[in-house]
Amino acid sequence: MRFVLEAGTPGTPSSQTLTTSVNQPVTFTVHILSGGDWLQTQTLGNKILSVNASAVNLAPGDYAAQIVVSAAGYTPVTVPVSLTVVPVPAPSTLRVSPATVSLSGTAAVEQDATLTIDSTAGPALVQASISASSSWLHFGVQSGYTAADGKFTTPATLTIYANSGQPGTFRGAITLQTTNNSVTVPVTLDAAPVPAKPPQIASIVNAASGTAAALAHGEIFSIFGLGVGGTVLINGVPAPPLYTSSGQVNAVVPYETGTSGIAKVKVDVAQVSSGEWGMPLTPAAPAIFTINASGAGAGAVLNQDSSVNSAANPAARGSVIQIFGTGQGITSPPSLTGAISTGAGNAAVLPVKVTIGGIDATVQYQGAAPGLISGALQVNALVPPDVTPGVAVPLSISVGGLPSQAGVTIAVR
Tell me the C-alpha distance between 172 and 163, whole Å: 12
Residues 173 and 258 in one domain: no
What would the pLDDT profile of 6-39 be if each residue is shown by its tens digit?
888 888 877 899 999 888 889 999 999 999 899 9
The pTM of this model reads 0.59
- Kindly compute the dihedral angle of the four CA atoms of residues 287, 377, 290, 226, in this order, to the nearest 10 degrees: 70
Pairing between strand 347-348 and 331-332?
antiparallel
Residues 300 and 230 in one domain: no
The range of the structural domain enclosing residue 241 comes to 200-280
**Would you list the DSSP string of 283-332?**
S---EE-BTTSSSSEEBSEE-TTSPBPBTTBPBPTT-EEEEEEE---SEE
Contact between 303 and 411 under an 8 Å Cβ cutoff? The reply is no
Highest mean pLDDT among 52-61, 79-88, 401-410: 401-410
Residues 311 and 404 in one domain: yes
Of 235, 257, 280, the residue at which a domain comes to its end is 280
Tell me the C-alpha distance between 3 and 11, whole Å: 9
Residues 233 and 342 in one domain: no
What would the pLDDT profile of 61-92 be if each residue is shown by its tens digit?
999 999 999 999 899 999 999 999 988 766 66
Dihedral sign (CA 361, 366, 371, 373): positive
Residues 299 and 399 in one domain: yes
Residues 269 and 295 in one domain: no
Residues 121 and 231 in one domain: no
Tell me the C-alpha distance between 128 and 137, whole Å: 13
Residues 61 and 155 in one domain: no
Q: Which of 262, 277, 257, 251 is closest to 198 using CA atoms?
A: 277
Contact between 391 and 348 under an 8 Å Cβ cutoff? The reply is no
Give the total number of structural domains in the chain: 4
Q: What is the CATH number of the domain that holds 130?
A: 2.60.40.2310
* Eight-class DSSP state of 150: S
Of 124-133, 207-216, 250-259, the poorest mean pLDDT is in 124-133
Residues 372 and 297 in one domain: yes
What would the pLDDT profile of 96-112 be if each residue is shown by its tens digit?
999 999 999 988 889 99
Highest mean pLDDT among 29-38, 123-132, 134-143: 29-38
Q: What is the CATH number of the domain that holds 29?
A: 2.60.40.10
Of 280, 306, 326, the residue at which a domain comes to its end is 280
Give the residue-averaged pLDDT of 166-188.
Answer: 91
Mean pLDDT estimate for the chain:
92
**Would you list the DSSP string of 369-400?**
-TTSBBTEEEEEEEPPTTSPPEEEEEEEEEET
What would the pLDDT profile of 247-276 be if each residue is shown by its tens digit?
999 999 999 887 889 999 999 998 889 999
Residues 332 and 351 in one domain: yes
Tell me the C-alpha distance between 407 and 287, whole Å: 11
Give the residue-averaged pLDDT of 324-334.
Answer: 95
Residues 151 and 80 in one domain: no
Strand partners, 80: 66
Residues 218 and 271 in one domain: yes
Of 59, 86, 113, the residue at which a domain comes to its end is 86
Amino acid at site 347: A
Cβ burial 8-23 (10 Å sphere, 16+ → b, else e): ebeebeebbebebeee
